[in-house]
């Protein structure tokens, strides 16, 4: 976690005034066509703005690697607008890539358009590589194992593989066509660094080669020397001695302690195997300083499954991190209790779970009339992110904001106390580094940092010099717009539009009275935020702002509009704008939020909002309703979207009288494929057939759009419709089935039947109700 603390002291500004000057900014993101540098293909990076700011435009882009600007003359890179092409694949081409851009026409939540400079969060780029086997680490000694025990074959001297982990298998020397250790193999069990063979028999003796494959490069390499297994046969007439039935540690080779466990890193959402091979023992797994999860032996759908002596955890979560111990209990003489700290042999693992970093940014008031700006970066154990002011690191640009009283840039958390200049306006960012820089670990989202961006505006410093300021107005094109601004006796007075000085005394703009602005023959381009500025002899400056909305009469007859062509009812007070539609992608869900502007009388006429979606590749006018919400709602989540697809969304506001207003659509948003399960769709009950007076067969179908949305289990819920108690009965079947038997029925009774699909991501919504009548 990182906390960046900046104390902001603005002259005669209250906390409510400061908060009114803080606005969310979009994020810059570095997208890539491949995450790993490949010698056969160039890598293209693009600098893209987050969704929800359709008017914003990038006017210049600079590319940065490891905090150094990439020269446009560097022959290993090619600049093409917002796209950077990486041609080299040497070690110095690896690193953290960022883009820095000046962005114009960012519309803030107060509808003002601003220009500012921001920097993207970093994207970690590595070289894809596949080294040779390290022959110095190859173990030439044979592995001797007793019959009916577990043998563990190492893949010694494994190549360095990026991206890891590599997929491995083993081949017998005399049968090189078969690769042992398939997914459902009950004899051979593949781990990240070797293979186990259960209940070894004399026929398992022989030579085995390890094969390592880099799926990204589509290359496979075989170990230079095979591993020899020698199986000693058990003498059935030999009497078992205490030494023969004593637990024996096989792998890992040495015991561990709680103080010095084996550290094992895994990415959130991936599967992990904690290896433990102890022959002649009952193996028990425990988790320290936490509740030991329910470990099953035969449930292949369980997240925690013991396979022989190994612990397999599927779809690892952050809460799974901790120390796990594998205890080898004696088969003979064990009385059912044991001391976790004294049991031998044992193996201890420290499971470290890495997840994508995240950030949060906020400002709070302090007792000394200063302000505390906090930037929190999560899920980072060692690395500290950087704070930026107008796209430049705060370390090099802090004087632009003000004079610090103390600094603490390089600790976690970072703290800086300072008084900010009253003239400061600009962007403040907190940017975290990718979680991947902390460990040689690869997983979804670990290659990216995150950023949270805010814009600080100083145009509300003090209105002591302004007696009466302007107010928001709406004027039809061609008419006159008046912004009143009555000021006291001052040294200088002026006007700004969208935070830039406005030229006055033109053919259409003039000053009336002390500093009131009149715009004649208003044009659509005149729309924007206008600010009256007054400055005293002592240098004190006051500001007062208002927004001018310009309507086009030629568009007022259309019942369907966008935020740039607002619907205008016969009464001016009935105008409503639906705008600032934003989308935030999380897995297979998109959070949509929007703003509605209008007077209260108009807002009371809203019946509901329809969120419409369009998928990539469909016709331009092909929009479907993805969700419908009540009139008071301004945000909702669209769930169960198809991964590896693109969507854009728009909002349809529907009035009580049936007329509607359409927002502008969002930009295309990528819903990326996920590594773990996603929520399945609801199944559909096709028919129900009675088999006997007490049983019936339920036939159902299930639509699986992608592989990881398949159901692991189907749950059939049924109950009597007329029963006062309304007790439900449940039956479950495997996810490969499309029928289920329900029992305990009563004849001449009507039943309500529903079906639910379930996998490790959770349960689907219920199917539609199916009514079924039993007969004699």
Give CA separation, 594 vs 107, 360, 586, 601, in Å.
13, 21, 18, 20
- Using the predicted structure, report yes or no on whether residue 605 has a pLDDT greater than 60: yes
Residue 594 domain flag: yes
Domain end point (choices 129, 146, 163): 129
Query: Taking the model in full, what pTM does it have?
Result: 0.60
- Using the predicted structure, report yes or no on whether residue 380 has a pLDDT greater than 90: no
Which of 200, 289, 187, 305 lies closest to 250 in space, CA to CA? 200
- Using the predicted structure, report yes or no on whether residue 174 has a pLDDT greater than 90: no
Domain end point (choices 129, 147, 174): 129
Q: Measured between alpha carbons, how far is 300 from 712 in angstroms, rounded to an integer?
A: 10
Residue 256 domain flag: no
Q: Do 721 and 632 share a structural domain?
A: no
Q: Measured between alpha carbons, how far is 352 from 442 in angstroms, rounded to an integer?
A: 13
Q: Measured between alpha carbons, how far is 583 from 448 in angstroms, rounded to an integer?
A: 19
Task: Give the residue-averaged pLDDT of 738-759.
Answer: 88
The residues that bridge with 606 in the sheet, in sequence order, are 655
Residue 712 domain flag: yes
Total number of domains constituting the chain: 4
Q: The CATH number of the domain where 525 resides is what?
A: 2.60.40.10
Give the N- to C-terminal CA distance of the chain in Å, as an integer. 68
Q: Do 422 and 522 share a structural domain?
A: yes
CB contact burial 231-265 (16+ within 10 A = b; e otherwise)? beeeeeeeeeeeeeebbbbbbbeeebeeeebeebe
Q: Do 42 and 123 share a structural domain?
A: yes
Q: Which of 350-359, 396-405, 530-539, 700-709 has the highest mean pLDDT?
A: 350-359
Pairwise pLDDT comparison (726 vs 247), residue with the higher score: 247
Q: Do 451 and 540 share a structural domain?
A: yes
Residue count of the chain, please give it.
776
Residue 654 domain flag: yes
Domain end point (choices 627, 647, 671): 671
Q: Do 498 and 420 share a structural domain?
A: yes
- Using the predicted structure, report yes or no on whether residue 420 has a pLDDT greater than 70: no
- Using the predicted structure, report yes or no on whether residue 8 has a pLDDT greater than 50: no
- Using the predicted structure, report yes or no on whether residue 720 has a pLDDT greater than 90: no
Residue 708 domain flag: yes
Q: Do 616 and 541 share a structural domain?
A: no
Residue 18 — pLDDT band, cuts 50, 70, 90? very low
pLDDT at 16: 36
Give CA separation, 451 vs 123, 343, 589, in Å.
12, 48, 20
Residue 261 domain flag: no
Residue 570 — pLDDT band, cuts 50, 70, 90? very low
Are the beta carbons of 441 and 413 closer than 8 angstroms? no
Comparing 233-237, 396-400, 718-722, which segment has the lowest mean pLDDT?
A: 233-237
pLDDT at 249: 92
pLDDT, tens digit (0-9, with 9 covering 90-100), for 285-343: 999 877 778 888 877 778 899 998 999 998 888 888 999 999 988 887 666 566 666 77
pLDDT, tens digit (0-9, with 9 covering 90-100), for 119-164: 999 999 999 889 999 887 776 678 999 998 999 999 988 999 988 8
- Kindly report the CA angle at 91 between 90 and 94, in degrees rounded to 5? 105
Task: Give the residue-averaged pLDDT of 749-768.
Answer: 86
Give CA separation, 224 vs 22, 61, 157, 404, in Å.
63, 49, 10, 62
- Using the predicted structure, report yes or no on whether residue 459 has a pLDDT greater than 60: no
pLDDT at 242: 58
Q: Do 601 and 527 share a structural domain?
A: no
CB contact burial 630-642 (16+ within 10 A = b; e otherwise)? ebeeeebebeebe
- Tell me 760's DSSP state: T
Rg (the chain; Cα; Å): 34
- Using the predicted structure, report yes or no on whether residue 573 has a pLDDT greater than 70: no
* Sign of the C-alpha dihedral computed for residues 354, 355, 356 and 361 taken in this order: negative
pLDDT, tens digit (0-9, with 9 covering 90-100), for 264-297: 999 888 899 999 999 888 899 999 877 778 888 8
Give the whole-number percent of the chain exceeding pLDDT 90.
27
- Using the predicted structure, report yes or no on whether residue 7 has a pLDDT greater than 60: no
* Sign of the C-alpha dihedral computed for residues 159, 162, 165 and 170 taken in this order: negative
CB neighbours (10 Å) of residue 9?
18
Q: Do 762 and 718 share a structural domain?
A: yes
pLDDT at 171: 92
pLDDT at 560: 34
Q: What is the pLDDT of the chain when averaged over all its residues?
A: 82
Indicate the SS3 state at residue 520.
Answer: coil
Q: Do 688 and 659 share a structural domain?
A: no
Residue 221 domain flag: no
pLDDT, tens digit (0-9, with 9 covering 90-100), for 55-99: 888 988 999 999 999 998 888 999 988 999 999 888 889 999 999
pLDDT at 349: 96
Please provide the DSSP assignment of 337-401 as one string: ---TTT-SSEEEEEEEEE---EEEEEEEE-TTS-EEEEEEEES-SS---EEEETTEEHHHHGGGT
The pair of three-digit structure tokens given for residue 365, joined into one six-digit string: 């008031």
Residue 17 — pLDDT band, cuts 50, 70, 90? very low
Q: Do 48 and 107 share a structural domain?
A: yes
Residue 163 domain flag: no
The pair of three-digit structure tokens given for residue 720, joined into one six-digit string: 């009597």
Q: Measured between alpha carbons, how far is 516 from 470 in angstroms, rounded to an integer?
A: 8
- Kindly report the CA angle at 528 between 561 and 530, in degrees rounded to 5? 150
pLDDT at 269: 84
Q: Do 596 and 744 share a structural domain?
A: no
Task: Give the residue-averaged pLDDT of 612-621.
Answer: 85
pLDDT at 723: 62
Pairwise pLDDT comparison (634 vs 568), residue with the higher score: 634
Task: Give the residue-averaged pLDDT of 742-758.
Answer: 88
Q: Do 718 and 606 share a structural domain?
A: no
Task: Give the residue-averaged pLDDT of 352-380.
Answer: 75
- The range of the structural domain enclosing residue 595 comes to 577-671
DSSP H or E run through 20:
none
* Sign of the C-alpha dihedral computed for residues 686, 689, 695 and 699 taken in this order: negative
- Kindly report the CA angle at 160 between 158 and 164, in degrees rounded to 5? 100
């Amino acid at each position: 976690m990182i906390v960046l603390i900046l104390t902001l002291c603005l002259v005669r500004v209250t906390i409510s005034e400061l908060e009114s000057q803080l606005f969310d900014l979009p994020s810059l993101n570095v997208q890539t066509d491949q995450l790993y540098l490949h010698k056969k293909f160039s890598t293209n990076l693009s600098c893209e703005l987050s969704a929800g700011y359709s008017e914003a435009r990038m006017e210049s882009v600079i590319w940065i690697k490891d905090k150094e600007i990439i020269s446009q003359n560097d022959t290993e890179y090619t600049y093409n607008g917002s796209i950077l092409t990486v041609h080299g694949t040497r070690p110095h081409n690896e690193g953290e890539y960022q883009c820095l851009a000046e962005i114009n026409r960012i519309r803030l939540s107060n509808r003002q358009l601003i220009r500012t400079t921001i920097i993207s969060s970093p994207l970690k780029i590595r070289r894809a590589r596949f080294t040779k086997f390290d022959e110095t680490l190859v173990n030439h000694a044979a592995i001797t194992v007793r019959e009916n025990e577990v043998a563990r074959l190492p893949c010694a001297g494994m190549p360095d593989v990026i991206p890891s982990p590599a997929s491995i298998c083993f081949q017998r020397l005399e049968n090189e066509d078969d690769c042992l250790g398939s997914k459902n193999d009950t004899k051979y069990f593949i781990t990240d660094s070797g293979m186990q063979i259960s209940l070894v028999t004399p026929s398992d003796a022989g030579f085995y080669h390890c094969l390592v494959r880099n799926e990204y490069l589509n290359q496979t390499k075989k170990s230079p020397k095979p591993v020899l297994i020698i199986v000693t046969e058990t003498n059935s007439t030999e009497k078992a001695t205490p030494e023969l039935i004593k637990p024996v540690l096989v792998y890992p080779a040495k015991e561990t302690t709680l103080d010095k466990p084996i550290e094992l890193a895994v990415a959130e959402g991936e599967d992990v195997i904690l290896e433990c091979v102890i022959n002649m023992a009952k193996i028990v797994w425990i988790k320290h300083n936490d509740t030991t999860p329910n470990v099953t032996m035969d449930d292949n759908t369980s997240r925690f499954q013991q396979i022989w002596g190994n612990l397999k955890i599927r779809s690892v979560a952050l809460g799974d991190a901790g120390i796990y111990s594998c205890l080898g209990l004696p088969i003979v003489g064990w009385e059912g209790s044991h001391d976790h700290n004294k049991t031998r042999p044992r193996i201890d693992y420290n499971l470290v779970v890495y997840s994508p970093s995240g950030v949060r940014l906020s400002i709070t008031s302090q007792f000394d009339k200063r302000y505390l700006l906090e930037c929190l970066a999560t899920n980072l154990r060692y690395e500290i992110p950087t704070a930026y002011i107008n796209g430049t690191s705060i370390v090099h640009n802090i004087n632009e904001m003000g004079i610090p009283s103390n600094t603490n840039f390089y600790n976690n958390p970072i703290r800086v106390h300072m008084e900010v200049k009253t003239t400061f306006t600009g962007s403040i960012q907190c940017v975290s580094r990718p979680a991947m820089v902390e460990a040689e670990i690869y997983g979804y989202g670990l290659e990216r940092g995150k950023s949270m961006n805010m814009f600080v505006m100083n145009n509300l410093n003090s209105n002591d010099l302004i007696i009466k300021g302007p107010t928001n107005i709406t004027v039809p094109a061609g008419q006159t717009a008046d912004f009143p601004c009555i000021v006291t006796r001052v040294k200088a007075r002026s006007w700004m539009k969208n935070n830039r000085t406005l030229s006055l005394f033109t053919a259409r703009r003039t000053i009336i009275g002390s500093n009131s602005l009149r715009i004649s023959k208003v044009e659509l381009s005149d729309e924007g935020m206008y600010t009256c500025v007054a400055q005293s002899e002592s240098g004190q400056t006051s500001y007062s702002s208002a927004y001018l909305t310009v309507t086009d009469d030629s568009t007022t007859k259309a019942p369907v509009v966008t935020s740039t062509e607002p619907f205008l009812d016969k009464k001016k007070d009935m105008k409503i704008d639906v705008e600032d539609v934003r989308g935030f992608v999380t897995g297979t869900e998109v959070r949509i939020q929007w703003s509605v502007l209008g007077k209260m009388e108009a807002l009371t006429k809203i019946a509901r909002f329809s969120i419409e979606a369009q998928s990539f590749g469909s016709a331009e006018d092909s929009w479907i309703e993805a969700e419908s919400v009540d009139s008071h709602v301004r945000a909702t989540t669209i769930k169960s979207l198809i991964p590896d697809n693109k969507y854009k969304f728009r909002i349809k506001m529907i009035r009580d009288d049936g007329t509607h207003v359409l927002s502008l659509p969002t930009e295309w948003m990528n819903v990326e494929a996920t590594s773990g399960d996603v929520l399945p769709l609801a199944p559909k009950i096709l028919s129900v057939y009675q088999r006997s007076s007490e049983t019936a067969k339920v036939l159902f179908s299930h639509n699986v759009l992608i592989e990881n949305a398949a159901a692991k289990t189907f749950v059939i819920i049924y109950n009597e419709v007329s029963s006062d108690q309304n007790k439900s009965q449940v039956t479950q079947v495997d996810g490969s089935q499309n029928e289920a038997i329900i029992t305990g029925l009563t004849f001449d009774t009507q039943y309500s039947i529903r079906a639910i699909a379930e996998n490790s991501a959770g349960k689907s919504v219920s199917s539609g109700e199916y009514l079924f009548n039993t007969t004699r």
